[in-house]
């Protein structure tokens, strides 16, 4: 057989093995498939089935070997080739030697249990093996992506079960955040605070968890914790633990469908519960827009826990009223005041709001809506509440945290003063 024929046969039979792997995956088993071939004729196929059959030996290769041996009426499979989507384990490699398989062709490598070179190489041991030669890497990326997708789906399913979604709410799919720039942080979720009633709330938690210096960053309309991405590294570098929640209805938090949900009392109480459940004391709250209103409300609600409030709220500008009943484009709203915003950043602000159904919070807190929270024209100066205004900071409209390190340094100087 000339080389090109061999290659095209390998591709043909590996595709059959991939089909078997897909059957396994569809049945909830790890997607691995195998076929046994003699003289171009398929004698047996197998898909991985240990869970369904309560059989630890029911790997795809063993299932295919059994089928081929039954078809031949012989436990020796002389002259047979075996195709499998994943590098065989030691058990399967041993069975292939016993069956006198001539040639083993596999797809993806298995760094954890592979016995054809990854962990051990049964086929290279001449004391054990006088028959089979093993070759890997045929359609390797297709075989590997089957496994990769399968495990990604399992993880997503597990996360979904851990945080079931309420019927009156929506959850932005993780993939919508794939292109978000400069936001490398692991998500943290909470859904067991009674006030949340099962809604999943997302927050960033960076820096030393043992640090007794905590800064709580609160975004407002129409942003999410992404707003603080440029400040977080500076604050962490200065030794602070930085916690930045996405208010319910925003960012990676669940989104109740009804605008009436978004009262200041609900958001205040959910943040009080978060602060209490995390055991935070002496927290400095940095708020922007509605976030600074919430910060002041928190200071009144749990004064013993709040060490200070910094409202990043320059003089109010008139925001464009938008079109009634149509949710505003969050990216466009920020871009109006932050002229250097890139396309990717604009996209990131809009990412949580997949379609109109996800936008109840935007509708509720839209400056023109009747549910919008009242805005202080100037900040109440309680004993600790202070405002860093546009006069003392770089002018980037309502969205000061966008100025990044510059604001962070002035903020730190302010807190530490
Ligand atoms: Zn195996």
Per-residue three-class SS string for 162-180: HCCCCCCEECCCHHHHCCC
Q: Most distant CA pair in the chain: distance in Å? A: 90
Residue 123: strand, helix, or coil: helix
Listed residue (288, 185, 193) closest to 242, CA to CA: 185
Amino acid 313: pLDDT: 62
- How far is the centre of ligand 1, averaged over its atoms, from the C-alpha of 2 (Å)? 30
Q: Quickly count: other Cβ atoms within 10 Å of residue 397's Cβ.
A: 17
- Ligand-binding site membership of 383 (annotated): no
Say which of 3, 19, 29, 61 is annotated catalytic.
61
Count the helix, strand and coil residues of the chain and give each as a percent rounded to the nearest 5: 40, 15, 45
Listed residue (306, 311, 281, 298) closest to 414, CA to CA: 311
- How far is the centre of ligand 1, averaged over its atoms, from the C-alpha of 92 (Å)? 4
- How far is the centre of ligand 1, averaged over its atoms, from the C-alpha of 115 (Å)? 9
> Does the reported pTM lie above 0.75?
no
Q: How far is the C-alpha of 266 from the C-alpha of 277, rounded, in Å?
A: 16
- Ligand-binding site membership of 89 (annotated): yes
- How far is the centre of ligand 1, averaged over its atoms, from the C-alpha of 14 (Å)? 17
Q: How far is the C-alpha of 30 from the C-alpha of 392, rounded, in Å?
A: 59
Residue ranges with CB less than 5 Å from ion ligand 1:
59, 89, 92
- How far is the centre of ligand 1, averaged over its atoms, from the C-alpha of 388 (Å)? 64
Would you call 61 a catalytic residue per the annotation?
yes
Q: How far is the C-alpha of 130 from the C-alpha of 229, rounded, in Å?
A: 60
Amino acid 127: pLDDT: 85
- How far is the centre of ligand 1, averaged over its atoms, from the C-alpha of 95 (Å)? 9
Order of strands across the sheet with 81-86?
Answer: 41-47, 33-38, 81-86, 103-108, 133-135
Amino acid 377: pLDDT: 39
- Ligand-binding site membership of 414 (annotated): no
Could you tell me the two tokens for 400? Answer: 């000061």
Q: How far is the C-alpha of 232 from the C-alpha of 406, rounded, in Å?
A: 12
Amino acid 322: pLDDT: 52
- How far is the centre of ligand 1, averaged over its atoms, from the C-alpha of 292 (Å)? 59
Listed residue (183, 228, 201, 176) closest to 347, CA to CA: 176
Amino acid 396: pLDDT: 55
Amino acid 111: pLDDT: 94
Amino acid 12: pLDDT: 96
Show the low-confidence residues of the chain (pLDDT under 50).
Answer: 1, 314-315, 317, 376-385, 390-391, 394
H helices of 195-237, in order, are 232-237
């Amino acid at each position: 057989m000339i080389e090109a024929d061999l290659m095209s046969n390998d591709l043909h039979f590996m595709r059959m093995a991939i089909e078997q792997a897909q059957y396994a995956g569809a049945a909830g088993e790890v997607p691995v498939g195998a076929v046994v071939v003699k003289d171009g004729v398929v004698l047996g196929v197998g898909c991985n089935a240990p869970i369904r059959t309560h059989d630890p030996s029911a790997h795809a290769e063993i299932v295919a070997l059994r089928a081929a041996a039954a078809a031949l009426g012989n436990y020796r499979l002389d002259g047979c080739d075996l195709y499998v989507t994943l590098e065989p384990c030691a058990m399967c490699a041993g069975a292939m030697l016993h069956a006198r398989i001539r040639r083993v062709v596999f797809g993806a490598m298995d760094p954890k249990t592979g016995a054809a070179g990854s962990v051990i190489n049964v086929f290279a041991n001449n004391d054990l093996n006088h028959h089979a030669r093993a070759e890997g890497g045929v359609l390797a990326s297709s075989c590997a992506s089957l496994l990769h997708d399968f495990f990604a789906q399992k993880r997503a399913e597990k996360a979904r079960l851990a945080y079931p979604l309420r019927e009156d709410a929506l959850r932005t799919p993780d993939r919508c955040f794939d292109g978000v720039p400069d936001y490398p942080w692991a998500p943290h979720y909470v859904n067991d605070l009674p006030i949340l009633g099962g809604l999943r709330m997302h927050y960033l938690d960076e820096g030393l968890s043992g640090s007794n210096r905590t800064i709580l960053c609160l975004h407002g309309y129409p942003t999410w914790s992404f707003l603080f991405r440029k400040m977080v590294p500076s604050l962490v570098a200065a030794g602070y633990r930085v916690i930045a929640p996405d208010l319910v209805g925003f960012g990676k938090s669940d989104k109740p469908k009804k605008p009436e949900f978004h009262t200041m009392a609900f958001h205040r109480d959910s943040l009080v519960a978060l602060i209490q459940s995390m055991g935070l004391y002496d927290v400095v709250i940095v708020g922007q827009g509605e976030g600074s209103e919430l910060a002041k409300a928190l200071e009144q609600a749990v004064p013993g826990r709040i060490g200070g409030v910094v409202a990043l709220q320059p003089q109010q500008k008139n925001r464009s009223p938008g079109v009634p009943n149509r949710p505003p484009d969050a990216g466009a709203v920020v871009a109006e005041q932050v002229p250097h915003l890139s396309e990717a950043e604009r996209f990131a602000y809009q990412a949580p709001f997949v379609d109109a159904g996800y936008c109840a919070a935007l509708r509720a807190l839209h400056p023109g809506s009747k549910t919008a929270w009242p805005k202080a024209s100037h900040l109440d100066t309680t004993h600790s509440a202070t405002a860093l205004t546009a006069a003392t900071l770089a002018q980037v409209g309502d969205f000061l945290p966008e100025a990044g390190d510059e604001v962070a340094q002035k903020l730190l100087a302010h807190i530490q003063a």
